[in-house]
Structure 1
Amino acid sequence: MSQAALDSLIRMAPVARKSAAEMVVEKLLELIYSGSVKAGDTLPTEQELSAALQVSRPVIREALRGLQILGVVETRQGGRCSVTDLKPSRLAAPLQFLVGLDHDNVEALYEARLTVEGELLALGAARADEAALEHLEHMVHEGHRLTTDPLAFRVMDLEFHHTLMRLAGNPFLERTAQSLYHIGAEVRRVASETPGVLTNSAREHELILEALKLRDPERARRAMHTHLASILRTTREAMQQSP
């Protein structure tokens, strides 16, 4: 970080005592958004940041940990933090660590998945290459074979959905979709052990593949919406079984 950027940080208003670490995060992000601090730049020391923002060093450490989770900074040899390459694959925060699934937000989660994964699949129907479709076809066949093995099916399901997310070639949407997929994984584990659930999922995977092979975006979108509606229903049922 240049001296000019550090001077800009000092000129900012001191951080309020309430939510101090969050305020530090916001101020550091402002410097990055403005271009004062660029990808690869080394940040000032904890002591320098503490003095500039008039907060304690533990607050600075908490803020830097938050920025590491977000993929904005990383620790280099010697303990100094620097700005990452800021690539899209880093910057979508791992939502599964930040948001938990409960009865109050399950509808919102699946609304988000419908929006993101439905549109991703519609884009993917036009953009998927033959190698990806062949890989999906192999997993569809495996899915029918694995309906009596919930653990193996869940491993296959993860790869199936991640492959679908990559078809469009949009790293921002892909990372967002992956994060949403992982929220509530434990509840879906319970759901996957319910008789008939995996057989239905395997058939819905097949319908998704059929739409992709036809290069039909609207049909692909509808197939994903049908699949996610089934997942929402079985997720609700599994949550009702939980204490």
Structure 2
Amino acid sequence: MELIARVPGDKGDIAKRTVKEQISDKLAYMIHSGLLRAGDELPSERELAATLGVSRETVRAAIGVLQARQMIEVNQGARTRVLGPGPMPLHESVGVLGGLRHRSLEEVAEARAAVEVQVIRLAAQRIEPAPLARLQALVGEQRTMLDDPVRFQISDQAFHSVLYDACGNGLLADVVSDFYGYALEFRRLALQRPGAIAHSVADHERIVAALCAGDPDAAAAAVQQHLDHVHRGTRDVMAP
């Protein structure tokens, strides 16, 4: 549940929504933001269930919702394929992020670093065993995704959602989640570059190691290094 409890930009009361609805909204957000694009093949139900920390039945039901919205195509014996945003209006979660669209990459990157470093310092002091184990499991799975950008992108968002929630401050988690959602379509392009996923996984491993040690300084340094890598990669693909 902790992986899907935060759809970037969402300000509503999601506690009343079913897990199926949260999963379908999470995937819909990824499609609307450009993180997942027309023609992309989604991971299998088993892989999605493992990454999102839910049952295969829940994933299957969420996929059915998106199929009804004409956002994905399900074919027997083949991978589920993304069709696009479909006829429905832009997701509310993405609309909230629209305010950042007029900000420069440098401005957003600086603000994100200022907030996220503090979030991770708190997480290093407050993280509970269950989310820490989940982060370790996600990083272990990510080592198998070095040649699978779509699957890694879904796992990466799950990783950061757990990480932000671990700080124990919902307001800070909301703010940094919105920053995470900035320019995701360019982040997607950056992750397609050779070695980019491997670098991100290595960064995630350093972050988790610092959290395991309960070392706020090491955690902050690891996150800052990760944000520097993300910033450079995004800036390179955004350049004319």
TM-score, structure 1 normalization? 0.59
In 2, the alpha carbon distance for the partners of 1:99 and 1:106 equals 9
Shift of 1:97: 2.3
Runs of 4+ in 1 over 4 A off after TM superposition: 69-72, 92-95
In 1, the alpha carbon distance for the partners of 2:146 and 2:178 equals 25
Q: Does the Cα contact within 8 Å between 2:186 and 2:237 map onto a contact in 1?
A: yes
SS of 1:163's equivalent? Answer: helix
Q: Return closer, same or farther for 1:235/1:93 CA change in 2, 3 Å cut-off.
A: closer
Q: Is 1:100 aligned to residue 101 of structure 2?
A: yes
How does 1:63-142 map onto structure 2 within 5 Å? Answer: 95-100=96-101, 105-142=104-141
After superposition, the C-alpha distances for 1:174-193 in whole angstroms (9 at most, x for unaligned) are 10011110010101011111
In 2, the alpha carbon distance for the partners of 1:172 and 1:108 equals 20
In 2, the alpha carbon distance for the partners of 1:70 and 1:223 equals 27
2:30 aligns with none
Q: RMSD between aligned alpha carbons? A: 2.2
Q: Which amino acid is 1:160 matched to?
A: F
Q: Does the Cα contact within 8 Å between 2:124 and 2:211 map onto a contact in 1?
A: yes
In 2, the alpha carbon distance for the partners of 1:171 and 1:122 equals 15
In 2, the alpha carbon distance for the partners of 1:177 and 1:230 equals 17
Q: Does the Cα contact within 8 Å between 1:136 and 1:209 map onto a contact in 2?
A: yes
Q: Does the Cα contact within 8 Å between 2:117 and 2:224 map onto a contact in 1?
A: yes
TM-score, structure 2 normalization? 0.60
Q: Return closer, same or farther for 1:141/1:71 CA change in 2, 3 Å cut-off.
A: closer
Q: Does the Cα contact within 8 Å between 2:10 and 2:96 map onto a contact in 1?
A: no
SS of 2:206's equivalent? Answer: helix
2:213 aligns with 214
How does 1:180-195 map onto structure 2 within 5 Å? Answer: 180-195=179-194
1:171 aligns with 170
After superposition, the C-alpha distances for 1:97-119 in whole angstroms (9 at most, x for unaligned) are 222167xx111111111111111
Q: Which runs of 5+ in 2 are unaligned?
A: 1-8, 13-92
Shift of 1:167: 0.6
1:150 aligns with 149
In 2, the alpha carbon distance for the partners of 1:70 and 1:153 equals 22
After superposition, the C-alpha distances for 1:63-83 in whole angstroms (9 at most, x for unaligned) are xxxxxx9959xxxxxxxxxxx
Greater gyration radius: 1
In 1, the alpha carbon distance for the partners of 2:110 and 2:171 equals 18
Shift of 1:94: 6.3
Q: Does the Cα contact within 8 Å between 1:116 and 1:177 map onto a contact in 2?
A: yes
How does 1:11-26 map onto structure 2 within 5 Å? Answer: none
Q: Which amino acid is 1:100 matched to?
A: R
Q: Which amino acid is 2:98 matched to?
A: F
Q: Does the Cα contact within 8 Å between 1:94 and 1:179 map onto a contact in 2?
A: no
In 1, the alpha carbon distance for the partners of 2:206 and 2:173 equals 21
In 2, the alpha carbon distance for the partners of 1:180 and 1:94 equals 13
Q: Is 1:205 aligned to residue 204 of structure 2?
A: yes
1:238 aligns with 237
SS of 2:143's equivalent? Answer: helix
Count of matched residue positions in the alignment of Structure 1 and Structure 2: 152
In 1, the alpha carbon distance for the partners of 2:224 and 2:236 equals 18
Q: Does the Cα contact within 8 Å between 1:101 and 1:184 map onto a contact in 2?
A: no
Q: Does the Cα contact within 8 Å between 1:95 and 1:183 map onto a contact in 2?
A: no
Q: Which amino acid is 1:228 matched to?
A: L
In 2, the alpha carbon distance for the partners of 1:120 and 1:143 equals 23
Q: Does the Cα contact within 8 Å between 1:143 and 1:156 map onto a contact in 2?
A: yes
